[in-house]
Amino acid sequence: MFPQLPEAKLAKFRKLGDEVTMQPGDVLFAQGVRDAPFYMLISGAVEFIDHWPGREIAVSRVDIPTFLGDIAMVTGEPTVVSCVAAEESTLIVFPSAKLRKMLAEWPEFSEMVLGALTARRDWLVSQGYGVLRLVADRGSRRAFEVRDLLERNLLPVRWYDPAEDEDTAKLLGKLDIPREETPVLIRNERVLTNPSPAQVARELGLRAEVDGRRFDLVILGAGPAGLAAAVYGGSEGLSTFVAEAWAPGGQAGTSMRIENYLGFPTGVSGEDLTRRATLQARRFDAQFSSFHPAEEVVAGPEGLLRVDLGDGQHVLARTLLVATGARWRRMEAEGLDRFEGAGVYYAASRSDAARNRDQDVVVIGGGNSAGQAAGHLAMFARSVTVVVRRPGLEATMSQYLIDRLERRPNVRLVTSAEVVAFEGESALAGVRVRHKGDGSQETIPASAAFLMIGAEPCTDMVRGLLATDERGFLCAGTDAVAANGGGPQWTVGDREPHLLETTSPGVFCAGDVRSGSTKRVAAAVGDGSMAVRFAHDVLAG
């Protein structure tokens, strides 16, 4: 985690950065800040410290020539610990932008630094250092939303239920916070009482300050298509900005394991793939902003496109990629509104599986996402019941997932059935289904239900600007030319639209939001990378 640097390398770094001297107690970087500078220690010693309300915890001490920092200095997330000089120390300092430039231009340095910083972060989190603490009852909808925002933005967080953990109940007492005022988020020395996701996003600085800035390429959405475009756009020298309504990864980011993606023979979790892709794009200086939805796209000055963002900021784009994907479809069922986010969820994360250990859970849906979720939940839960409307899974789920579920003794498949109600008093207790064959109803015990019945395109911000098919997905390429009726049409007479170009020149679409897409991670990545090539053609013209 702390590779010792030889004098020859230190001499090279001295020419690239600024040498500074720190006195004991001087702060190199604080905990919870974005875009902190990167340091190399030449002589002296530093300490890493984890801050909590009323106390400080010494994490480690470093006194050899090595580089200091956190993977946050590359990704732009908040740092998880602080670093303080333990004695008089000489260091070389690099601003975060200079660090990313060095990583992009120097592969040997990049491999060493990224590997060590990633291992360092993994070790810190495994030991509980720098981890955000979320204190709330199991069924808290607001706590679920906050946890989902944090986890999806790759910020380490752990959920503590005061009803099940005596130490957590004592902690609330020390903080003088009644249990009724939970959820509580403890971040460093800050305690946020009953915070909304918007408050947490502001506290952590998830939204970038970009008002009025111009970019060669603006990407709406950070699922696999948007992340791929960010990597290729940044690596090919385009100033690139990614606006994401919630968090990087999209629906794929919530997947327990993606097993049919090239290059990962044992599979890869959506979280891990998202972290790797985000880190890769940031290395090439693509700028990300989370919890920052695009509200509207309109014509801007000088032939540019103006993208109005949810907090009142706007950016100007020479080219635009719509990679907003699709949102999970809801269903009409009694009790859904009451338990949504508090027992009924649209994705199954790793922490969801652990929190439902030895419980009964229900997965509703017959696609690959449902199969992946059911398979992982079955490793922890007492029972997993998969409910599907069709007579079987063969038409909608990959065979390897069907085979896996069949091998699980605690997985039960209920076919030709539809959910009619979610039941329970203060917490979800069961899912009531109606069997299509005889009309009989059955209540399946469940402490949690995961609803995965398909998705609808997220196109609100371009409604009226771009043509869509009959289901609302964006038309591109030959479909953009064929789009007719009273809606938008391709009007450029001297050229045909590029393969992924919409009815508006210079505006492209990629991934699940595109009409005719195959709804697979690999296809979305291909779309995103291809769109950058077409954007280059438009910019060059």
**185 falls within a domain:** yes
How confident is the model at residue 489, as a pLDDT?
A: 87
Backbone dihedral angles phi then psi of residue 469, each to the nearest 5 degrees: -85, -175
Residues 439 and 351 in one domain: yes
User: Are residue 340 and residue 447 in the same domain, yes or no?
Assistant: yes
Domain boundary among 453, 486, 508: 453
Tell me the CATH number at 158. 3.40.30.10
pLDDT of residue 315: 98
Would 501 be classed as within a structural domain? yes
Q: What is the distance between the alpha carbons of residues 431 and 446, in angstroms, rounded to a whole number?
A: 7
Along the 541 residues of the chain, how does pLDDT read in single tens digits? 899 999 888 888 999 999 999 999 999 999 988 889 999 999 999 999 999 888 899 999 999 999 998 888 888 888 999 999 999 999 999 998 899 889 988 888 999 999 999 999 999 999 999 999 999 988 888 999 999 999 888 889 999 988 888 888 888 888 899 988 899 999 888 999 999 999 999 998 899 999 999 999 999 999 999 999 999 999 999 999 999 999 999 888 888 788 888 999 998 988 899 999 999 999 899 999 999 999 999 999 999 999 999 999 999 999 999 999 988 888 999 999 999 888 999 888 777 788 889 999 999 999 988 999 999 999 999 999 999 999 999 999 999 999 999 999 999 999 999 999 999 988 899 999 999 999 999 999 999 999 999 788 999 999 889 999 988 999 999 998 886 555 788 988 789 999 999 999 999 999 999 999 987 899 999 999 999 999 999 999 7
Indicate whether 287 and 307 sit together in one domain.
yes
Structure tokens at 509: 């679409």
Tell me, yes or no, whether 207 lies in a domain: no
With 0-12 / 13-18 / 19 or more C-beta atoms within 10 angstroms meaning exposed / middle / buried, residue 61 is: exposed
Rounded Cα gap, residues 528 and 525, in angstroms: 5
Specify whether 490 is located in the same domain as 428.
no
- Angstrom CA distances, 185 to 107, 148, 168, 290, 381, stand at 39, 13, 12, 19, 27
Burial label for 140, CB within 10 Å (0-12, 13-18, 19+), is buried
Task: Looking at the structure, tell me whether residues 252 and 167 fall in a common domain.
Answer: no
What residue numbers bound the domain in which 359 lies?
336-453
Question: Does the residue 209 lie in any domain?
Answer: no
Q: H-type helices in 76-213, by residue range?
A: 96-105, 107-126, 141-152, 166-174, 197-204
Residue with tokens 């996701």: 197
Rounded Cα gap, residues 315 and 242, in angstroms: 11
Rounded-to-integer distance, Cα 78 and Cα 205, Å: 8
Q: What is the CATH number of the domain that holds 444?
A: 3.50.50.60
Domain boundary among 424, 453, 482: 453
Structural domain count of the chain:
4
Does residue 124 belong to any structural domain of this protein?
Answer: no
448 and 365 housed in the same domain: yes
191 domain-assigned: yes
- Could you tell me if 286 and 376 lie in one domain? no
Whether residues 294 and 258 share a domain: the answer is: yes
- For residues 296 and 230, state if they share a domain: yes
Same domain as 304, residue 228: yes
Is residue 120 domain-resident?
A: no
The alpha carbon of 483 is separated from its chain's Cα centroid by a whole number of angstroms, namely 34
Domain stops at, among 453, 480, 496 = 453
Burial of 299 (0-12, 13-18, 19+ CB in 10 A): exposed
Say which CATH number the domain at 14 has: 2.60.120.10
| Residue 125 within a domain | no
* Among candidate residues 521, 256, 253, 262, the one with its CA nearest the CA of residue 372: 256
What percent of the chain is helix, strand and coil (3-state, nearest 5)? 30, 30, 40
Enclosing H/E stretch for 528? helix 521-540
Both 466 and 449 in one domain: the answer is no
Q: Are residues 442 and 473 in the same domain?
A: no
